[in-house]
Structure 1
Amino acid sequence: MIDVQIRTAVPDDAEAVLAFWREAAEGTSITDDADGVTRLIGRDPQALILAESGGTLVGTVIAGYDGWRCSLYRLAVLPPYRRQGVATALLEAAERRFLAVRGRRGDAMVLESNERAQRAWSAAGYRREDHWRRWVKPLAGA
């Protein structure tokens, strides 16, 4: 296990987070731009949690809470740092956040094709719910 520092993101982290996601995360989103990341941080300053080791960004998770649901997105770890406790530290920080706001359940968005991520979520105690499907509609002008 490597030594990591966990902290929440600030607006100045937006570009570094986007570069990190291009290297370490699976998939992309229409919100993958500096405006989307800074709006997330502005609306919910505790949501974007970063893991750093020796000043290098090595992991992220978005632990969003809207007053009702605890949602997890973008759990990603830089490839050379995987399987060293980074994801565990990030999820523990996210779960502490959710418990502090009296959240009841964490829901994770995981790509169907990302088998490595599915194994990681399962190992962390999360289980797949096949009776749900995600429905999306991009909003014009968003």
Structure 2
Amino acid sequence: MTEAVETGLAIRNGVAEDVEAVLAFWLEAAEGTDRHDSAESVRRLIERDPEALLVAEAGGRIVGTLIAGWDGWRCHLYRLAVDPAHRRKGISRMLLDAAERRFVEHGGMRADAMVLHDNTLAHHAWTAAGYVRQGEWGRWVKPLGSRRS
């Protein structure tokens, strides 16, 4: 998927060659939040679902990302991140539009987003895109395998 945009920005699917650059980008653009990301995990995502990782690129440089996970039942959004120098230029909206188109093409009916409670900057972006916090649900987690943090 490549989408040329008048601003010189392109939205495309991430590929294996992007893995290290994406990980470095997340450390910078996702406010340094480390959620135990690894090259192996990102590669596995791309292998499992080559359309899931969306990358916004300008001038050959990653300026935004979004994981648009589709499991055949639910539409999940993770890792929306935009380079701080490129924020407020519509990149988040373009990534979300691409993800939403993907979901609709697969028959998805509702998308959900993983957003940290304390990330109020992100709350504004998600609200502006038409997403609302769902107060009646909570996220329950359990580390699997050797990862126990």
Q: Which bracket does the TM-score occupy, shorter chain normalised?
A: over 0.9
Deviation for aligned residue 1:28: 2.1
> How many residues are treated as equivalent by the alignment?
141
Q: Distance in 1 between matches of 2:119 and 2:62?
A: 22
Deviation for aligned residue 1:3: 2.7
Q: Distance in 2 between matches of 1:137 and 1:127?
A: 25
**54, 70, 82: which is aligned to 2:87?**
82
Structure-2 residue corresponding to 1:137: 142
Segments of structure 2 that go 5 or more residues without pairing to the other structure are 1-5
Q: Distance in 2 between matches of 1:94 and 1:19?
A: 22
Q: Distance in 1 between matches of 2:79 and 2:34?
A: 10
Q: Which has the higher contact order (CA 8 A, sep 6+)?
A: 1
- Determine helix, strand or coil for the equivalent of 2:79: strand
Is 2:78 the counterpart of 1:73? yes
Structure-1 residue corresponding to 2:3: none
Q: CA-to-partner distance for each residue in 1:38-84, whole Å, 9 max, x for gaps?
A: 00000010000000001110000000000000000000000000000
How do 1:9-28 and structure 2 match up within 5 A?
9-26=14-31, 27-28=33-34
**25, 28, 35: which is aligned to 1:29?**
35
Is 2:49 the counterpart of 1:44? yes
Structure-2 residue corresponding to 1:56: 61
Structure-2 residue corresponding to 1:112: 117
Letter in 1 for 2:93: T
Segments of structure 1 that go 5 or more residues without pairing to the other structure are none
Letter in 2 for 1:109: M
Q: Distance in 1 between matches of 2:135 and 2:34?
A: 23
% identity of equivalent residues: 58
Q: Distance in 2 between matches of 1:132 and 1:9?
A: 31
Q: Distance in 2 between matches of 1:2 and 1:17?
A: 22
Whether contact under 8 Å (1:2, 1:84) holds in the other structure is no
Q: TM-score, normalised by structure 1?
A: 0.96
Whether contact under 8 Å (1:6, 1:52) holds in the other structure is yes
Q: TM-score, normalised by structure 2?
A: 0.91
Whether contact under 8 Å (1:59, 1:75) holds in the other structure is yes
* Structure 1 segments (4+ residues) deviating >3 Å: none
- Determine helix, strand or coil for the equivalent of 2:124: helix
Letter in 1 for 2:136: H
Output the aligned Cα RMSD.
Answer: 1.2
